[in-house]
């Protein structure tokens, strides 16, 4: 089967999944709980998030680890944008960015973040709250060197979040760095890094018929995590 046929098959399966969520028959058992919620483990609160991201990847969804990241600056002004969640373990998630960007300035000022991942085709959402800290340089170096070469060069060319006179200027800067590093490995810029978010609250949302959705919240206490079911 060719790549075009595989892509068509993936899209068809996703459309079927979406329609099944929106058009569930009225006779369906609405009392049945999400089977994956039954396996939630307060000792591993992020495991279901990792499972859902992997399932989205397996289905061929575009950017399955895309998340909306909200931050607050020193004056209390909120900002949000899309980033890619490129790190996850039992206690934290992480993403990479320019350390001179607005999001980085917000994090350095207040540290608190809120993130949302949403997979409409699967009828699932995850909301995360936590405290962000700068990522260790060895993690940054390892990820940066795994990126496509042109993406590495683009990191050098972009003065993220600052005023840009024209797209021509950005392209000129890109070509300049492309020539500069033409015969060598592209080094990781000192201004490029990442942040890990130590999670202290995570909410799993599972869509169900008639808007009788399921929401489970796991919250970190002084010693243990608590699990609470809340109204949709």
Name the pairing type of β-strands 124-134 and 214-220: unpaired
Tell the residue number behind the tokens 């373990």, with chain if given. Answer: 89
Scan for tokens 């609250």, then name that residue. Answer: 201
Phi, psi (5° rounding) for residue 104? -65, -40
Single out the catalytic residue among 44, 86, 102, 211.
211
Q: Which residues contact 67 (CB under 8 A, 6 or more apart)?
A: 82, 83, 84, 85, 95, 115, 116, 117, 128
Identify any residues that bridge with 79 across adjacent strands, giving them in sequence order: 71
**Among the listed residues 56, 44, 26, the one whose alpha carbon sits nearest the alpha carbon of residue 125:** 56
Contact 125, 118 (CB under 8 A): yes
86 carries an active-site annotation: no
Is 168 in contact with 176 (CB distance < 8 Å)?
no
Q: Which residues contact 7 (CB under 8 A, 6 or more apart)?
A: 60
Give residue for tokens 């595989």.
6
> Known catalytic residues?
211
């Amino acid at each position: 089967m060719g790549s075009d046929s595989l892509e068509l098959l993936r899209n068809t399966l996703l459309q079927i999944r979406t329609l099944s969520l929106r058009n569930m028959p009225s006779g369906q058992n609405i009392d049945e709980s999400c089977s994956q919620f039954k396996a939630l483990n307060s000792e591993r609160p992020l495991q279901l998030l990792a499972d859902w991201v992997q399932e989205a990847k397996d289905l061929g969804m575009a950017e399955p680890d895309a998340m909306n990241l909200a931050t607050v600056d020193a004056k209390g002004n909120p900002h949000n944008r899309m980033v890619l969640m490129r790190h996850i373990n039992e206690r934290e998630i992480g993403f990479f960015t320019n350390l001179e960007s607005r999001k980085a300035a917000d994090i350095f000022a207040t540290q608190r973040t809120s993130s949302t991942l949403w997979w409409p085709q699967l009828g699932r959402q995850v909301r995360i709250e936590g405290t962000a800290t700068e990522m260790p340089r060895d993690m940054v170096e390892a990820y940066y060197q795994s990126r496509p070469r042109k993406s590495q060069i683009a990191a050098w060319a972009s003065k993220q979040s600052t005023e840009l006179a024209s797209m021509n200027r950005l392209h000129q800067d890109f070509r300049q760095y492309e020539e500069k590093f033409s015969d060598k490995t592209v080094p990781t810029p000192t201004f490029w890094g990442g942040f890990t978010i130590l999670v202290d609250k995570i909410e799993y949302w599972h869509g169900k018929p008639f808007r009788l959705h399921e929401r489970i919240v796991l919250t970190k206490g002084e010693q243990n995590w608590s699990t609470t079911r809340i109204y949709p």
